[in-house]
Structure 1
Amino acid sequence: PLNPNPDSNWSQYFKDNDVLLQIDKDTRRLLPEIAFFQRPTNYQCMEIINAESETLRKRVEYTVLNAGDVGKNWLGITNVHQKKRSLPDEYATLPEGQEAHWEVVERILFIYAKLNPGQGYVQGMNEIIGPIYYVFASDSDKEIQEHAEADAFFCFMNLMSEIRDSFIKSLDDSASGINATMTNTMLKLKSKDMRLWLKLQEQDLKPQFFIFRWVTLLLSQEFPLPDIIRLWDSLFSDEKRFEFLIDICCAMIILVRDKLIDGDFSSNMKLLQNYPDTDVNLILTKASDIRR
């Protein structure tokens, strides 16, 4: 464990622990408005439950005690600097032999990070996998429930292959990066409602303040889970889904047009960062009109 070589197995172990701690914190807080992710799954992975190796949940507990930064001073003496961390305490841990749904999501995200070292785990990915896993794990078909982890992982991998550029900072300014998407959204708004676009420009309401989250998380934090599932159903079934996402974002802005025109900077910022309750079918209809 004191080996200072960055390519050593222990060095990689500590790096993995840092990633795991962030995933653990994010998945424990996943969709807090529903209790589903804190409940035990009926189809836990018995190979892991019955194995002698530690589970990710236990690994997090050990990491809090054991992880540290390893380095050498100018005299060549190896030092270990203990990191002070505290375990997330939002939810009680389930008894041995059970695992909660959030633990399954944690495993999916950790494996994804290991398989994609160039990208790794980025905060927000938990908001993408959450609804996907929920749909499989809450299906009325017991066979679909049983294979929810594998099916959710497969769908998550395929979806991330399409949106991963939004999670890579070095690609922000590329043609497929998040900045290009935000620019295209504002250009679409400009073509559909010049007065509203000018209002946002006058108040310097930059798309980074609200569209960044909308696009990166596919609107998963803007609406309740049932609405997200309905919205994603239309979004993912569209062959030009990311062009449609721009239309949806544009529609969301236009649907609160009157409030934006009358509002000042602070009220408009609050409005767009905390989008009001709106029928998603109305948003989808408006987005389809914008596309035409």
Structure 2
Amino acid sequence: MSSDGNKKQFWKRNAAKVPGSIQHVYGAQHPPFDPLLHANLIKAGNKPPPATPGKPKKATTFQEFESITSDAWDVGDDDDELLAMAAQNLNIEVVMETANKANNVVFPFEPNTLAISPDASFASQGSPYADSRLVKSHSEAPIGSPREDLRKLSWSGIPRQVRPIAWKLLSGYLPANAERRESVLQRKRQEYFGFIQQYYDSRNDEHHQDTYRQIHIDIPRMNPENLVLQPKVTEIFERILFIWAIRHPASGYVQGINDLVTPFFVVFVFEYIEEEVENFDVSSLQEEALRNIEADSFWCMSKLLDGIQDNYTFAQPGIQRKVKALEELVSRIDESVHRHMQQYEVEYLQFAFRWMNNLLMRELPLRCTIRLWDTYQAEPEGFSHFHLYVCAAFLVRWRKEILEERDFQGLMILLQNLPTMHWGNEEVSVLLAEAYRLKFAFADAPNHYKR
């Protein structure tokens, strides 16, 4: 470095993000970073530097520079104290308070007119939540990030009437610019049906017939049966899954991918009907509507799988890593449950593989999966990263039932048939709030998984 000016610039580069500094975890607005609740954290993290009269002495050596700099080189127990304060403040009362408030959030948009802008907020929309912590968190968003505004609003759930367009925006399928949406939709839909014309006739070729046969076998096993067993729906799902497999030879079709079509398909059907889709004859929709639903479902599912494709490549390494991370996390947050399963030789892979492979779709009713995906799409890396904390919270949620089982068979039957059939938004909101608490404590400190 040739000058003192360059030295100063070098040492201060990215000063706000050096290791050891306190950073807000994304999603801290759900529950928001409350100045009253976390007063201790703010005091500990924002101590004003001591005033020094006169011109400060210029650092001539690294040791002198270190002695007058408060950043990543500081040594002490501050991090442990902060973590302890965070754990103390983020207790179950916070989880319940957040979950209850999440159930009462008003989504400030009318159906079919969803347009987001950098200066939209709960306050400007006249929501009763205008003076809440969500508005403060919203105001901290970087200017010019309309999709981030939508993510914040969507974390606590999206009303059914605006969910189709919100999901398309959150997944990145639709641009935030409203003027470009129609042209993008037309182009992507035409592109999908171009794939159909190009590839679908090859489904009976020798090198593709095994893929198509497996898809054809798996679709009738999906839920809800009243929907997927309709011939028109089966035909649509077969096309979507086959085209995706042909265009992604690194993984091809893997069992479990078929389940990921259903939430998108159901949500996009809601654009055209008011009743529940499980009891609706999909073939009664106009042909143009069916084509739109099919193409939109394909592209949004593709966007989802782009972020978790290592779950479905050879040997499924993504799932292996996540199950191992789940085991380590549970051993830290609930040692009794972890030791109980070790005692009866229950391997996490035996039950959690399906949780990762199907994103809990086989464990929850479809209505709960859709609500869960509202938050997954609002979280950065929701399907690939936040899902881990949801699985941990989900497992610990059944600690009483788990500890009551006294043999391997009983534990496996319980873990593969958890009683969630009557779950609704309230249970999912509590689950997500607890998952957020775990993320807050562990997300940026993976070594805290281990003892």
TM-score w.r.t. length of structure 1: 0.69
Query: Structure 1 residues 235, 272: closer, same or farther in 2, change over 3 A?
Result: same
Measure the CA separation in 2 of the matches of 1:22 and 1:216: 17
Do 2:390 and 2:431's aligned partners in 1 also have CA atoms closer than 8 Å?
yes
Q: How far does residue 262 in structure 1 lie from its aligned partner after superposition?
A: 2.0
Q: Are 2:267 and 1:135 aligned?
A: yes
In structure 2, the partner of 1:24 is 216
Higher RCO by CA contacts (8 Å cutoff, separation 6 or greater): 2
Question: Which residue is 1:36 aligned to?
Answer: 227
Question: Which of the residues 89, 102, 105 maps onto 2:234?
Answer: 102
Match of 1:149 among 274, 285, 294: 294
The 5 A counterparts of 1:29-178 are: 29-33=221-225, 35-39=226-230, 100-140=232-272, 146-170=291-315, 172=317, 177-178=318-319
1:158–1:12 Cα change, 3 Å: same
Give the C-alpha shift of residue 111 in structure 1. 0.8
Deviation at 1:31, TM superposition (A): 1.4
User: Given the alignment of the two structures, is residue 266 of structure 1 paired with residue 414 of structure 2, yes or no?
Assistant: no
User: Matched residues in 1 for 2:344 and 2:351: separation?
Assistant: 14
Deviation above 3 Å: which 4+ runs of structure 1?
140-146
Alignment deviations for residues 135-191 of structure 1 (CA, whole Å, 9 cap, x no partner): 11232378876511111111111111111111123452xxxx211111111111111
**Native 8 Å contact 1:139 1:145 kept in 2:** no
Tell me, yes or no, if the aligned pair for 2:251 and 2:314 is still in contact at 8 Å. Answer: no
Give 1:209 shift. Answer: 1.0
**207, 230, 240: which one pairs with 2:348?**
207
Separation (CA, whole Å) in 2 of partners of 1:11 and 1:198: 49
> Is 1:246 the equivalent of 2:388?
yes
Deviation at 1:12, TM superposition (A): 8.2
The structural deviation recorded for 1:250 is 0.7
Q: Is the 8 A contact 2:323 2:348 kept in 1?
A: yes
Superposed CA deviations along residues 178-216 of structure 1, whole A, max 9, x for unmatched, are: 111111111111111112211112222111111110011
2:143 alignment counterpart: none
Give the secondary-structure state (helix, strand or coil) at the position aligned to 2:338.
helix
Q: Is the 8 A contact 1:129 1:152 kept in 2?
A: yes
8 Å Cα contact 1:199-1:261 kept in structure 2: yes
- Tell me what 1:197 maps to: 338
The answer as to whether partners of 1:136 and 1:144 remain within 8 angstroms in 2 is no
Bigger radius of gyration: 2
SS class of match (1:239): coil
Deviation track 1:230-275 (CA, whole Å, cap 9, x = no partner) reads 1111112111413321111111111111111121222221111112
Query: Which of 348, 353, 373 in structure 2 is aligned with 1:232?
Result: 373
Separation in 2 of the partners of 1:243 and 1:191? 18
Q: 1:252 to 1:150 in 2, by over 3 A?
A: same
Identity of aligned residues (%): 30
- 1:138 touches 1:145 (CA, 8 Å); kept in 2? no
C-alpha RMSD of the superposition:
2.4
Amino acid at match of 1:258: K
Query: Which ranges in structure 2 are unaligned for 5 or more consecutive residues?
Result: 1-201, 274-284, 441-451
Check if 1:14 corresponds to 2:14. Answer: no
Task: Give the counterpart letter for 1:23 in structure 2.
Answer: I
- Residue equivalent to 1:51: none
Deviations 1:37-92 (A, max 9, x none): 344xxxxxxxxxxxxxxxxxxxxxxxxxxxxxxxxxxxxxxxxxxxxxxxxxxxxx
- The TM-score, its normalising length taken from structure 2, stands at 0.46
How far apart in 1 are the matches of 2:220 and 2:263? 15
8 Å Cα contact 2:337-2:399 kept in structure 1: yes
**What code does the residue aligned with 2:264 have?**
I
